[in-house]
Amino acid sequence: MNATISIDTQREGTPIDRMIFGQFLEHFHRQIYGGVFDPGHPLADARGLRTDVIAALRELRVPIVRWPGGCFASAYHWKDGVGGRTAVYDKAWNVEEPNTFGTDEFVAFCRAIGAEPYICTNAGTGTEEEASDWVEYCNQTKGQWAAKRRANGHERPHDVKYWSVGNENYGPYEIMTKKAADWPAFVLESGKMMLRADPGIKLLAAALPDLDWTLPLLRQAGWMLAYISIHNYWDGLWFNNAPSDYLTCMTRTGQPGEMIRTAENLIQLTGLAGKVAIAFDEWNLRGWHHPCKGNHIFGDVEARDANDINATYTMADAVFSGCFLNACIRHAGTVKMACMAPMVNCRGPLFVHPGGVVRRTTFHVMKMYSDLLAGQAIDCWSASDPLTHAGVTVPSLDAVATSDAARKQVTLALVNKHPSEPLEVRLRLDGREGASAGAGVCLAGDSPDAYNDVATPDRAQPAPAEGVFRQGLATLPPHSITICTVDVK
């Protein structure tokens, strides 16, 4: 298998927003309770936060965490989760929500891992004013909600900068689904009060790459938005937990880029290019398994345990995640935030169990990208032998190039999707061949189906790859992600 890459370091680069390495945390199954928050656990601190989980998440340098949902947000009343707590029935997921992890705990968790908190408001059963009360509670110094925060032991404002109006409110499964015609007014009125409570916040709104929903939203409320929020999972497992095999997953690696292009076109069409960005604030290859959606059936809560089967999260998940991040980097001018969904347990990169944590394959991809890439996306063109499966053809290579302003070095993120063949890559840098790479890191695993588990936590892990390019040629192992740096002569 062969590929060529051509990089132009002379043209202007596009800054990559580190917020694309964000994460998402929802009140769903064992993400919060028994995940990040476990009062009484021997490894929990005085706040109930698992210290081993915090330490592992700090390795990822997570820039932002979106919370509390997800579908959960559309029936969540934040006032039940501050001060004296009220346990309630969770209408989204059919369980009791104890509300012992609320706004104050979420902000403390974010600060503990060094991330910005990002709150998604209830645009289902919640009102526009309930959302602005929440901004007051977090960010104001005046009024009853600021007083309540102080009474709860938080003298200084929490300073939460990122706020989304709603989650997937177009979806028929969402509590109190909104009609496209009604959505812009709800966003406008919520946003109006939220921005008065704190003009410094950045506002997002639930959107999707669809003319009927997003065009009216952008036309009427786009002026007050910093981002539109879009989501996707490319292996939908909501009703049947039958994860697709490696090659089927590879056939979907081009789809994130297509979604981003459609959303970009909508932003351009409404004259908001450069003003409204894209937040891909829920993404993962695998959709979560919760067969209660839209049709409550006995036993669906137990069915959610299937999300925690570590064997599901293989090199297919790692390779797909590399391709997703590459798509964000190719569109760095518009994609300014992305949140992997979720952060722990379920389909997340970190599996938390009573005895410790397991870094799944996707954990390593997130860390490699977050740690190693430079700050600007630069021109990178590639051509590679095709990979065909079930009538769908994708390129076997996915490549992006990054650099900093000085342009002394270029750092490449290279994904070989082929399940069994190495990829011979020829690099042209500013029209010249023969470049040699310095340090590199490669994640490949011993098989496309390799995964990490409690008994084998390090089966798939990154290894140093010295001299990836020699005289302009590299050999990328099958099912691998490589990040390496090349000197610019």
Nearer to ligand AHR, 71 or 323 (CB): 71
Nearer to ligand AHR, 337 or 410 (CB): 337
- CB closest to ligand AHR, residue no: 70
Q: Which range in 14-22, 281-289, 430-438, 471-479 contacts ligand AHR by CB under 6 A?
A: 281-289
Is residue 128 at the binding interface for ligand AHR, with CB under 6 A as the rule? no
Q: Which range in 267-275, 282-290, 377-385, 447-455 contacts ligand AHR by CB under 6 A?
A: 282-290
Q: How far is the CB of 288 from ligand AHR (least distance, A)?
A: 4
3-state secondary structure the chain: CEEEEEEECCCCCEECCHHHHEEECCCCCCCCECCCECCCCCCECCCCEEHHHHHHHHHHCCCEEEECCCHHHHHCCHHHHCCCCCCEEECCCCEEECCCCCHHHHHHHHHHHCCEEEEECCCCCCCHHHHHHHHHHHHCCCHHHHHHHHHCCCCCCCCCCEEEECCCCCCCCCCCCCCCCCHHHHHHHHHHHHHHHCCCCEEEEECCCCHHHHHHHHHHHHHHCCEEEEEEEEECCCCCCCCCCHHHHHCCCCHHHHHHHHHHHHHHHCCCCCCCEEEEEEEEEECCCCCCCCCCCCCHHHHHHHHHCHHHCCHHHHHHHHHHHHHHHHCCCCEEEEEECCCECCCCCEEEECCEEEECHHHHHHHHHHHHCCCEEEEEEEEECEEEECCEEEECEEEEEEECCCCCEEEEEEEECCCCCCEEEEEEECCEECCCEEEEEEECCCCCCCCCCCCCCCCCCCEECCCCCECCEEEECCCEEEEEEEECC
Nearer to ligand AHR, 64 or 394 (CB): 64
Nearer to ligand AHR, 183 or 469 (CB): 183
Is residue 69 at the binding interface for ligand AHR, with CB under 6 A as the rule? yes
Is residue 26 at the binding interface for ligand AHR, with CB under 6 A as the rule? yes
Nearer to ligand AHR, 158 or 231 (CB): 231
Q: How far is the CB of 121 from ligand AHR (least distance, A)?
A: 13
Q: How far is the CB of 21 from ligand AHR (least distance, A)?
A: 20
Nearer to ligand AHR, 122 or 326 (CB): 122
| Span 436-475, contacts to ligand AHR by CB under 6 A | none
Is residue 116 at the binding interface for ligand AHR, with CB under 6 A as the rule? no
> How many residues sit close enough to ligand AHR to count as binding (CB under 6 A)?
10
Q: Which of 13, 63, 70, 477 binds ligand AHR (CB under 6 A)?
A: 70
Nearer to ligand AHR, 145 or 213 (CB): 213
Is residue 308 at the binding interface for ligand AHR, with CB under 6 A as the rule? no
Q: Which range in 41-49, 64-72, 389-397, 467-475 contacts ligand AHR by CB under 6 A?
A: 64-72
Is residue 168 at the binding interface for ligand AHR, with CB under 6 A as the rule? yes
Is residue 282 at the binding interface for ligand AHR, with CB under 6 A as the rule? yes
Is residue 281 at the binding interface for ligand AHR, with CB under 6 A as the rule? no
Is residue 167 at the binding interface for ligand AHR, with CB under 6 A as the rule? yes
- Contacts to ligand AHR by CB under 6 A: 26, 69-71, 167-168, 231, 282, 287-288
